[in-house]
Amino acid sequence: MRLHEYQAKQVFADAGIPTPASQLAETVDEAVDAAEEIGYPVAIKAQVHVGGRGKAGGIKLVESKEEAREAAEDIIGMDLKGYHVSKVLVEEAVDFVNELYVGVTMDRNEGRPVAMVSTKGGVNIEEVAEEDPDAIAREHIDPAFGMHPFQARKVVYEAGVDREVANDVASVLTTLYQLWDDRDGADTEINPLMITADNEVIAADAVMNIDGDALFRQPEIAEMGEEAAEGDELEQKADEYGFDYVRLDGNVGIIGNGAGLVMTTLDLVDYYGGEPANFLDVGGGAKADRIANALDMVFSDENVDSVVFNIFGGITRGDEVANGINQALEQFDEIPKPVTVRLAGTNAEEGMEILNEDLVTVEHTLEDAVQRAVEYAKEVEA
């Protein structure tokens, strides 16, 4: 479950991490009043679950009442990468001299949480990891003991953070890990963590994703999650249909049965040069109505240009899955986006023969299916 920036900042501030003065606004007048109260310059920031808001016009820095009104009118109600913007965060602008990245996530290869620090903040950290992996310092943490103070200092110094602010950055990182642990986090990060000319350390952005299976013991976060899902029709549909669903920024829609299977597909889409548009696990029982609901969700995402099914027939046999896919697709007068299917497991061969190849492209291996889906998406882009 993902929190909005304003919600994550509230959690961070309550834990003692410095954040800029800010107010949430749902109307243009509220945004202007907030800007006047905070004092210029301020940033007006769209509150949607999507990266690259600034480049897409969802974040604007303003220095007067007139500019604040114009920016709020532009942002509130806009469609930002398929998301409807209904709220903005009006925030005090930070006069910074440096930007850092700090974050905590689970390193599944190591089976332990990892704390990360980089002096290349303010940019996409995934791009930094790919282009200059040495620019990110990492420290693995034993969850039985938590993050020791020396570990926080060690990873901060290894990242090359200036000594004048190193202790404060280490303190922020320690708090971030404690929040990740106490709140059943999946990811917590600040990008950028801004350094001012007076050597103040301020969280200018905030990301906090929570393990959805742990929400029963995080009632306050669960309430935030209900508010975070407001205005996102796809998230609401996922709840209605009972799907595990996460919306991403790419254009290759992914449908599978089983979290591991979906994650594998997502990783392969990235490996073959595509960009995943979502994580969608339909769970057990791939019947026609459930497949139709999954397709309805993925087809409704304006960012999706092609769809790949990765279904493993276990208790639900491959021939049943194939019949479900056929029946689901036949409910559409026109297939809006190309669909590629790979079946494996019980009665997979029978299922492959049943699939209507007038409606879908059938591939016998997952690698071939993913590559075909990525090709279809790139053809649309071209």
**Residue ranges of the binding site for Mg(2+):** 191, 205
Told to judge if 189 belongs to the known catalytic residues of this protein, a careful annotator would answer yes
**Residue ranges of the binding site for ATP:** 45, 52-54, 91, 94, 99
Same domain, 256 and 342: yes
Identify the pLDDT of residue 55. Answer: 85
Q: CA 310, CA 327: separation in Å to the nearest integer?
A: 17
Mean pLDDT of 104-124: 92
| β-strands 361-362, 244-247 pairing | unpaired
Give the type of residue at 323: N
The tokens of 78 are what?
A: 């806009």
Which of 169, 204, 228 represents a domain boundary (last residue)? 228
DSSP letters, 173-234, are HHHHHHHHHHTTEEEEEEEEEEEETT--EEE---EEEE-GGGGGG-HHHHHHHHHHHTT-HH
The answer to whether the CB of 76 falls within 8 A of the CB of 174 is no
Catalytic-role residue among 101, 241, 245, 376: 101
Q: Is the pLDDT of residue 231 over 70?
A: no
The tokens of 342 are what?
A: 């790979």
The answer to whether the CB of 63 falls within 8 A of the CB of 40 is yes
Identify the pLDDT of residue 318. Answer: 83
| Domain CATH code at residue 181 | 3.30.470.20
Same domain, 263 and 354: yes
What percentage of residues in the chain have a pLDDT greater than 70?
A: 96
Backbone angle region of 244, left / alpha / beta, with phi > 0 → left and psi within -120 to 50 → alpha: beta
Told to judge if 101 belongs to the known catalytic residues of this protein, a careful annotator would answer yes
Q: Is the pLDDT of residue 215 over 90?
A: no
**Residue ranges of the binding site for substrate:** 257, 314-316
Number of C-beta neighbours around residue 135 at 10 A: 15
84 lies in which domain range? 21-92
Position 9 in a domain: no
Same domain, 101 and 195: yes
Q: CA 180, CA 201: separation in Å to the nearest integer?
A: 20
Identify the pLDDT of residue 90. Answer: 98
**Which residues make Cβ contacts (< 8 Å) with residue 115, sequence separation at least 6?**
102, 103, 104, 138, 139, 141, 147, 151, 152, 155, 173, 176, 177
**Which residues make Cβ contacts (< 8 Å) with residue 85, sequence separation at least 6?**
46, 47, 48, 58, 75, 76, 77, 78, 79
Q: Is the pLDDT of residue 230 over 70?
A: no
Same domain, 237 and 218: no
Q: CA 36, CA 237: separation in Å to the nearest integer?
A: 38
Closest CA to 325 of 349, 292, 296, 353: 292
| Domain CATH code at residue 62 | 3.30.1490.20
To which residue do tokens 């917590």 refer? 188
Mean pLDDT of 16-29: 97
CA 321 to chain centre: 29
Give the DSSP H or E segment for 359: none
Same domain, 102 and 172: yes
Mean pLDDT of 332-336: 86
The tokens of 174 are what?
A: 């320690």
Same domain, 148 and 207: yes
pLDDT tens for each residue of 154-175: 999 999 999 999 999 999 999 9
Position 14 in a domain: no
DSSP letters, 119-173, are S--SS-HHHHHHH-GGGEEEEE--TTT---HHHHHHHHHHHT--HHHHHHHHHHH
Q: Best-predicted range by mean pLDDT among 145-159, 224-238, 295-309? A: 145-159
Same domain, 136 and 178: yes
Q: Is the pLDDT of residue 147 over 90?
A: yes
Which of 52, 70, 92 represents a domain boundary (last residue)? 92
Q: CA 233, CA 186: separation in Å to the nearest integer?
A: 23
Q: Is the pLDDT of residue 229 over 60?
A: no
Q: Is the pLDDT of residue 223 over 80?
A: yes
Which of 38, 71, 92 represents a domain boundary (last residue)? 92
Same domain, 40 and 123: no
Position 312 in a domain: yes
pLDDT band at 134 (very low <50, low <70, confident <90, very high): very high
Identify the pLDDT of residue 122. Answer: 85
Catalytic-role residue among 67, 139, 189, 320: 189
Closest CA to 82 of 268, 310, 253, 226: 253
Task: Please give the tally of structural domains in the chain.
Answer: 3
List Cβ<8 Å contacts ≥24 apart for 135-143: 136/101, 138/114, 139/114, 139/115, 140/107, 140/110, 140/112, 140/113, 140/114, 141/112, 141/113, 141/114, 141/115, 141/177, 142/112, 143/112, 143/113, 143/181
Q: CA 40, CA 38: separation in Å to the nearest integer?
A: 7
Q: Is the pLDDT of residue 16 over 60?
A: yes
To which residue do tokens 């509150």 refer? 47
Position 5 in a domain: no
Tell me the average pLDDT of the chain: 91
Q: CA 122, CA 341: separation in Å to the nearest integer?
A: 39
pLDDT band at 190 (very low <50, low <70, confident <90, very high): very high
Identify the pLDDT of residue 149. Answer: 96
User: Higher pLDDT residue, 74 or 109?
Assistant: 74
pLDDT band at 285 (very low <50, low <70, confident <90, very high): low
The answer to whether the CB of 127 falls within 8 A of the CB of 90 is no
User: Higher pLDDT residue, 331 or 154?
Assistant: 154
